[in-house]
Copies of this chain bind each other. A is one copy, B any other.
Amino acid sequence: MRQVSHHLSLRPAKPGLTEVTGEITAWLAAQPVREGLLTIYLRHTSASLLIQENADPDVQRDLEAFFVELAPEGRGLYRHRSEGPDDMPAHIRGALTQTHLSVPVSKGRMALGAWQGIYLFEHRRAPRTRELVLHLIGD
């Protein structure tokens, strides 16, 4: 039994959902652990992680629209305004989704379903560099 960890920096090109399955799969394929558990941890609170369908891009657009409507920007809605009008909605959308994901690994690959992809969900208007910590434990 052994473990490996890695810091991965990502800079999404736009707000909303950006698939990062490829970056994670590539790192995983190069590790000596073939069977185990992968944990993906995001070091931010105004972005989040999500496992969602990666077939029809309309699913991602509808998800983005849902979260924008559920936690909208708006004068007077929030006390916390010092970091801009998009910061507090970003924290709420983050709270409703995930800061970490754990996925079993088999034969060096994540046990994702046929239509599952891993997404970085950028909630700020101006995308910034986001840091993931990957932790893999197994054999």
A82 to B104, CA, bound (A): 30
A51 and B99 within 8 A (CB): yes
Q: Does A68 count as interface, using CB distance less than 8 angstroms?
A: no
A104 to B38, CA, bound (A): 10
Q: Which of A62, A116, A137 has the most CB of B within 10 A?
A: A62
How many monomers of this protein are in the complex? 3
Q: Does A66 count as interface, using CB distance less than 8 angstroms?
A: yes
A64 to B44, CA, bound (A): 19
Size band of the A side of the interface?
35 or more
A2-B1 CB under 8 A given contacts A45-B115, A97-B95: yes
A35 to B133, CA, bound (A): 13
A113 to B94, CA, bound (A): 14
A and B contact pairs by CB, cutoff 8 A, 9 listed: A43-B111, A45-B53, A53-B91, A56-B82, A59-B91, A62-B78, A63-B95, A99-B116, A104-B133
Q: A residues engaging B (CB < 8 A)?
A: 1-3, 5, 35-37, 39, 41-46, 50-53, 56, 58-59, 61-63, 66, 70-71, 78-80, 82-83, 88, 91-92, 94-104, 106, 111-116, 131, 133, 135, 137-139
